[in-house]
Amino acid sequence: MEINQFRGRNILIYLIMADPDTGEFTDPDLIFRGRQNSDYRIVEDRDPESTERGGTVTVKTRITADLSQINSAMSCRSNVPSHQEFLRRAGIATDDEFFSRVITIMNQTVFWGTADPDIPGRFLGRVGPYQTPVYADV
C-alpha cells in the first residue's frame, strides 16, 4: 500500500514507556522532529489461522531531521501558492500581494534593505507592504 499525500509533512516521534504491572504510561518525550521524504510502505504479516499470535505491521518511510536542514535554503517558486506557503512556514501573513505588484517595478532600479539609499536618480515612490523605495535611472 502506498500513501503519497503525506510527503513533505512534519514528522514527530515520541518515546513512551509503559509499566506492564499497572498499565500506566509515562509522559511522552519528543525524540525526533523532521519532514517526511517519501510515501508510506505498509506491510502486514500475520497468520490468519493463529489465535495466539497477533502478527506484525511494519510501516516504513524516509524522513529528514530539521537539524540537517539548518544550512539549506528553502526554495520558493515564482507563483502565488508557493510564495504564500513560504510565508506561512515563516510565520508571516499569507495575504502578501507581491506578484500583483511586480509589474509596477519592471524596468526600475529597486534597492532592497535600505530606506533611502544615497544614489543618483529620481525617486518614484514606495511599493509593497514594506514600502520599498523605487528610483528611476537618470
Domain ranges across the chain: 2-69, 80-136
Given a contact cutoff of 8 angstroms between Cβ atoms, the answer to whether 74 and 87 are in contact is no
Q: pLDDT tens-digit profile of 48-65?
A: 777 777 788 898 889 988
Q: Are 132 and 104 in contact (CB under 8 A)?
A: no
Whether residue 119 is predicted with pLDDT greater than 80 in this model: the reply is no
Whether 138 has a pLDDT exceeding 60, the answer reads: no
The average confidence (pLDDT) of the chain is 76
Of 69, 68, 107, residue with least CA distance to 89: 69
Half-sphere exposure of 19 (CA within 13 A, CB side): 7
Q: Per residue in 23-35, pLDDT tens?
A: 899 999 999 998 8
Residue 111 has pLDDT above 70, yes or no: no
**pTM value?**
0.41
